[in-house]
Structure 1
Amino acid sequence: MRHRYQGFAALNVSTPRMRQLFVFLILGMAVIFVLTGLLAMIQAKRSTHSSELGRFTSHFSTETLLYLMGGEIPYLATTETAAEKPGFSRVFFELATSIDPEDPRTLLGSELPGYALFDTEIVVAGEGVDYTSVPIESPPPLDLQKKMSDRQKEQKPTSENQESTSSSTGKDKVFIYHTHFTESFLPELKKTESPNRAYDNEMNITRVGKRLGKELEERGIGAQVYTGGFDADWNQMYQASREKVVSAMKQNDDLQYFIDVHRDSQRREKTTTSIEGKKYARIAFVVGTAHPHWEKNERLVRKLHKKLDELYPGLSKGVFRKSRAMGNGEYNQSLSPNSILVEIGGVDNTFEEAFRTSEALAQALSEIHFQAVPVDGKAEQEE
């Protein structure tokens, strides 16, 4: 047997000393995982992530970026922020591994279950927004899914619960739909206090979408609102809603904006704000990066966030990116550069609060739309 392994040093793991070493190794790794998780939770409370310079630079800390850029731009090297220059070893480590030693999320964020919350990319952060405030998609329990699915199958399609068209201009410019049409609000249900069961076949997010269509129509933008549901499993909802959007596009060439209205799963303190003494359900824009032209979708929602911030300071939570690893990742946004996924309020908000936000969104979109409309009356597409 020795001759078969000649030239190799055999490691005897059966000795008590080696077994003890392996136990210490395993315990050490467990401690590292726990500490990293705790540090990540603390870090998330006080930092946000921005990728203005692209995915490459998004992995580096501010100090490292200033240090690197300071070599070419002397002013940056003299700023107060750049006073504490990172050591060469830290710069080299970040460049080689994309890990920021002071941000533990960059070490294990993509490997550990439960880190999806921190993987959502904050492109533009609204007032008071950090990684604990990002929109969360939480499906209903399986028993509730089955119950609602059975009820949906029993409902016969009618013109009332399928589509409502409102237009004072003779042309519908906006198509509004609701992929997760059963998402609801606890104060409106009065039959449960569990956020995981804030779903209903009738008292749901479609009422918010319908109100948005009405507000747009009052501002001269015709809107077609699909208030029906989809006979599909939860994980197939986006495919089902995609078919509805494609059908609407084929039937109406005048449609320019496609808005998928959702309700966030965050709690009230993260989804509510006060403006001039009135409560509003906060709004968030989600961009899926699982298609080649997501930057075009992002440009539009950046404009909407900026306009909302001008008109209703603090109402918008910001713009967030999600990849395929964090959910659907495409959200039907590959169909048009003017496809929008918007989260209005959370499980603890009311219809009244969400309706106020619908009015605000309609005002922001109408101002952007009419600024972009040339002589031929058709809004310019994002390029």
Structure 2
Amino acid sequence: MKRKRTRTPQRHLNMAKSFLSETQRAALTLAVCALLCVLGMAALAWPRTNIGLLAMSLPGFVSLAAQTQTPQESAAAAMTRPADPAFSVKVRPTETQAPPQSQSPRPTPTPENEPLVLIYHTHATEAYFPTENNPYTPSGSWRTKDNGKNVVAVGERLAEELRKRYGICVLHDTTNHEPPKLSSSYSRSEQTMRKYRDEYPSLILYIDLHRDAYGNNVSESTDFVTIDGKQVARMMFVVGTGEGAMGTGFDEMPDFESNHALAEQITAYLNTIDPRLTRNVRVKTGRYNQHIAPHCLLVEVGHNANTLEQAFAAIPYLAAGIADAVESICSGADTKTTMPPNAWVAEE
């Protein structure tokens, strides 16, 4: 009886060498290496396929790519990472941090420097509490036609801050819409808005800049916020529902949800600097020309008991909040809200 011979691994290798030439063995080695490379690349790419994504959604699944590649940014990290440098708010002032200073101009993030923001004034002659450094000749109760002393000067500061610090192309209209009658100012500022909207379709944000009124018999106010030793006027956004005093509404209604969401967004941003820097968003039944476009805001920078210096001091912070809002609008991240049940609705 013959004993069956068992072939060892070494015997297999010797037999293979006897059948293959040196050239053939080299070619076979290269082919095996190439196959291993292809399999490795497929393993890394597999998680990106629909099947791979489905598999990774299963509990306890850990992909090869997750073990071999740098972890991807989480959704939370993506929301908090710095935005595009053209929009990013590089300095967010706090109670221990100086207000942001102007930097060198940066490229505007729109083709051919197309404007994104319009600043205008329905009540251009609104003025502040006169001081030794900023006296003015009144043209009415707490008003002056001197554009270096009224809200037009504040609007110009805001426009320059947005241009120089954030690279946002801004239009600033200085038209006095009050004559011939103050009560009809909004009808004239509406025409100004429509003119700019039609001429510059790139506009995405319209800002009607005012100062609030505390009546006629006022003295210099203590209603301000002190940040880094500077007195800063408080601010407030006004949003119209378009319901009108009788509740019947206008023919053209404002996009209240969009405007209100934007006002709340900027207010929340400013409140991270100081919770007293802004008042609550004020909801009123008028429309304040906020029906002209999806993103229209009325902002009150201080009031007639604040000084012009205090209003100027608020501008770097307001600009930071607006730049943040512009970035949200451009990225499509702005959202709509419904009127909160406890919203302050003031009758006209």
Question: TM-score per shorter chain, which class?
Answer: 0.5 to 0.7
What residue number does 2:238 align with?
286
Does the aligned pair in 1 maintain the 2:240–2:254 contact within 8 Å? no
Do the aligned partners of 1:232 and 1:240 also contact (CA within 8 Å) in 2?
no
Instruction: Determine helix, strand or coil for the equivalent of 1:344.
Output: strand
Instruction: Kindly indicate whether residue 184 of structure 2 is the aligned counterpart of residue 236 of structure 1.
Output: yes
Tell me which of 185, 191, 199 is aligned to 2:143: 199
SS of match in other structure, 1:342: strand
The structure that is helix-richer by fraction is: 1
Structure 2: runs of 5+ lacking an equivalent: 1-104, 243-252, 337-348
Alignment partner, residue 175 of structure 1? 118
Structure 1 residues 38-58: Cα deviation after superposition (integer angstroms, max 9, x where no partner): xxxxxxxxxxxxxxxxxxxxx
User: Per the alignment, in what secondary structure is the counterpart of residue 279 of structure 2?
Assistant: strand
Partners of 2:262 and 2:334 within 8 A in 1: no
Out of 223, 226, 251, the position equivalent to 1:274 is: 226
**Which residue of the partner structure matches residue 296 of structure 2?**
339
- Aligned partner (choices 199, 203, 208) of residue 260 of structure 1: 208
Matched residue SS, 1:263: strand
The equivalent residue for 1:208 is: 154
Q: CA RMSD in A?
A: 2.5
Q: Kindly provide the CA deviation profile for residues 67-113 of structure 1, in whole angstroms up to 9, marking residues without a partner as x.
A: xxxxxxxxxxxxxxxxxxxxxxxxxxxxxxxxxxxxxxxxxxxxxxx
Q: Which has the higher relative contact order, 1 or 2, with Cα contacts under 8 A spaced 6 or more apart?
A: 2
Distance 1:191 1:181, change over 3 A: closer
Contact 1:168 1:222 in 2 (8 A): no
Specify whether residues 246 and 372 from structure 1 end up closer, same or farther in structure 2 by C-alpha distance, changes over 3 A only.
closer
Unaligned runs of at least 5 residues, structure 1: 1-165, 324-328
Distance between the aligned counterparts of 2:153 and 2:209, measured in 1?
10
Q: Which residue is 1:220 aligned to?
A: 167
With over 3 angstroms needed to count, the CA separation of the structure-2 counterparts of 1:347 and 1:293, relative to structure 1, is: same
Q: CA deviation at 1:354?
A: 0.9
Q: Percent identity of the aligned residues?
A: 31
How far residue 340 of structure 1 moved from its aligned partner, in angstroms, is 0.4
- Measure, in 1, the Cα distance between the counterparts of 2:175 and 2:254: 30
Give the superposition deviation at 1:321. 1.1
1:365 aligns with 2:322: yes
Q: Is the CA contact (8 Å cut-off) linking 2:221 and 2:306 kept in structure 1?
A: no
Matches of 2:106 and 2:121 in 1, distance apart?
Answer: 20
CA distance in 1, matches of 2:326, 2:288: 22
Aligned residues: 208
Matches of 2:308 and 2:180 in 1, distance apart? 26
**What amino acid is the match of 1:288?**
G
Distance change (3 Å), C-alpha of 1:292 and 1:360:
closer
Larger CA Rg, structure 1 vs 2: 2
Mapping of 1:10-25 within 5 angstroms? none
Q: TM-score, length-normalised on structure 1?
A: 0.50
- 1:285·1:341 contact (CA, 8 Å) conserved in 2? yes
